[in-house]
Chains A and B, each alone.
Chain A
């Protein structure tokens, strides 16, 4: 039943979008967009109802949920695999379409809505023609469903028990919320794309109106991407038990690429608005931002790369490639129509003034995005050429991206107060003499206390200087009500990044680990602390077996655990016991259990909490900007 209703309504949604694409009357546009939003919300709820009712006649539910799955993870199963996540994707798209129509619609033409509906036709089309989350099950597998139909009102079979979601997805609540955050970020990138192409197609956009709208519509996706990436890193750290937070995994990379591009655009858009320069570059950035999200989905979902985020392969790969071609074509055609407009872009005169620094910012952010992109596709190209599978070691990224980000951090120091004309470096150093000296002294002091390397020295000195200067600036110049919100939120975001950099450089340079072999009721010492290991406790939950090992230091007891999932094809997950302090985490995981003896990996991870603080500050710094989200 749910299967048929879902399929029929997907069809209706698809037809409405086609009508919207060809529709000429403004009056109907609004109605169609509203109905479409309503249907997408309905479809989302319908699949959730199916998940909670355990309707295993729906192939997706039989394959990615189970009776024993706890409610939160049942809810999250909707986006746990490809077909369902496209449903969430469509819901976000229709929400943004509505928002766009309400706030930013181009008043003189409706081409932007047409482009928007075309993009949505593309994604809804996938659920209609290729594979639907509502597809009914027509052939059972041993567990779950092996064959399904995308037509409604078919003779369906019901499996008695579902397969359950990927165990990685049901081990921590963070996993339930981090993908939707990233989705909102990804899908939101559609808005600036539509704003730019839609407005530049009509003559009216050839003022800088398009860049203003494109900039504002980037705020929401930027915020959600930042939060999504942060939560993903936190999840990786808290759950996967490998002691790290960022692995340069292809799937992490493809969320980082749009983030870097969007960050570049947020900067260069400002320069276009104030100095009417970089017009063509901004157009290219907006296009790449959108295309990189589709590329990201292609990489994640088509199974072309080996990754911890592996998803099953479908025909979505070719479909998305086709989409990328189609949207690139639209982008290029509209761009080439505007060659005259772009050629009006002013030259950059002051390479050491405001515009110059913004260009440097863009060069380094864009280079970082390009480097990450190359690292992500390199194994693919290599395999095609030499027929051999490889992965890129993380040293590749450490060698290139690290220094790029360090230079960006250095540039932030000058962002505090930039003259339009060239900056007088001598005057600048004179003005900030005391602070520069004291931050140098402070970093030398820190270095005496820690193992040092020159990267550490440079990073600490720059971060500390940036933090101190930002505080000084805030203290001297912040004037409450009548302040420039964009400027100050930007400064706070920079402050967050500086704190984050301190955390990450401490983490990279100071952390160390060791292996301990130990029996129950014994103690070991690590980093001047004694830890006592109790006996392990086995727990059997409906969906998994957990072996918990309590470990305590003088003040608290934490558990490190092995989670072994039933009714699934996945490996066990070793989750850490983390003893947190401001400066460092003691992070303990079980490597091996044999009766009452254990092999533990004990890590001393520095700077983690400082990193979270920095990322948190950067993320929330954008909240005040959302108030400016009106026309």
Chain B
């Protein structure tokens, strides 16, 4: 009985340890725009970048949508190749998926905060941390 119990615990421990190791090697980070200043990533590494769309920054160029996002401290220009969700508009929080190259972010996937709640028109405090929870 005791021996079995120890074997089971060891087994579970092993699985937890192995899973945690593998999990930590397969993570995808969300960066805020300010955080991109501190990190070192290659041009080809895919990351997720979150921020709020800056007013009057949205323009179209052929199939691309170009705009700027910010977290309040740092602006980054986005070149977006993909379908723009209906909800996409100024001041809206977005998470983009793509690669960062010399302060320009090339994204092909966009997630607009979707929730059952409306964002009030007078504006909540826009904060990436709050928003992505």
Contact = CB atoms under 8 A, between A and B. Distances in A.
Contacts of B37: none
Nearest to B82: A591
A571 B19 contact: no
Given A378-B23, A571-B112, A572-B86, A143 B118 contact: yes
Interface string B94-110: 00000000000000000
A374 B23 contact: yes
Secondary structure type dominating chain A contacts: mixed
Nearest to A313: B133
B27 A311 contact: no
Interface stretch (B8-16, B51-59, B71-79): B8-16
A593 B19 CA distance: 42
B36 to A, nearest CB: 13
A375 B1 contact: no
Contacts of B29: 388-390
Contacts of A590: 83
A393 B88 CA distance: 25
A443 B91 CA distance: 56
B127 interface: no
Secondary structure type dominating chain B contacts: loop
A390 B20 contact: no
A306 interface: yes
B12 A370 contact: yes
A310 B115 contact: yes
A166 B18 CA distance: 38
Given A363-B11, A378-B20, A396-B23, A166 B118 contact: no
Interface string B61-91: 0010000000000000000001101111000
A375 B19 contact: yes
B22 interface: yes
Given A141-B118, A312-B117, A396-B22, A390 B83 contact: no
Contacts of A572: 83, 85-87
A367 interface: yes
B40 interface: no
A126 interface: no
Interface centre among A63, A64, A388, A564 (most CB of B within 10 A): A388
A144 B117 CA distance: 10
B23 A571 contact: no
B82 A592 contact: yes
A144 B118 CA distance: 10
Contacts of B12: 370
A382 B16 contact: no
Contact of A374 (B20, B30, B82): B20
A375 B23 contact: yes
B86 A565 contact: yes
B121 interface: yes
Interface residues of A, number: 50
A487 B26 CA distance: 40
A378 to B, nearest CB: 5
Nearest to B65: A592
B41 interface: no
Contacts of A388: 29-30
Contact of B117 (A371, A400, A569, A599): A569
A569 B114 contact: yes
A395 B19 CA distance: 12
B26 A571 contact: no
Contacts of A367: 11, 15
A572 B86 CA distance: 5
Given A143-B118, A393-B26, A599-B63, A570 B87 contact: yes
A143 B116 CA distance: 12
A276 interface: no
Contacts of A400: 18-19, 22
B118 A303 contact: no
A396 B121 contact: no
Contact of A64 (B22, B24, B116): B116
A491 interface: no
Interface string A582-599: 000000001111100001
Nearest to B85: A571
A399 B24 CA distance: 13
B28 interface: yes
A391 B132 CA distance: 12
Interface string A363-403: 10001001100110011001000001111110110011000
Given A306-B133, A370-B15, A569 B119 contact: yes
A312 B83 contact: no
Nearest to B118: A569
A590 B20 CA distance: 38
6 contacts: A303-B133, A374-B19, A374-B23, A396-B19, A574-B83, A591-B83
Top 5 closest A-B pairs, CB basis? Answer: A571-B85, A396-B26, A393-B26, A374-B19, A390-B27
Interface of B: 1, 11-12, 15-16, 18-20, 22-24, 26-30, 48, 63, 82-83, 85-88, 112, 114-121, 132-133
Given A367-B11, A378-B23, 11 more contacts: A163-B118, A313-B133, A374-B20, A382-B27, A396-B22, A399-B22, A400-B18, A570-B86, A571-B114, A572-B83, A592-B82
Interface of A: 63-64, 81, 141-144, 163, 166, 303, 306, 310-313, 343, 363, 367, 370-371, 374-375, 378-379, 382, 388-393, 395-396, 399-400, 517, 562, 564-565, 569-572, 574, 590-594, 599
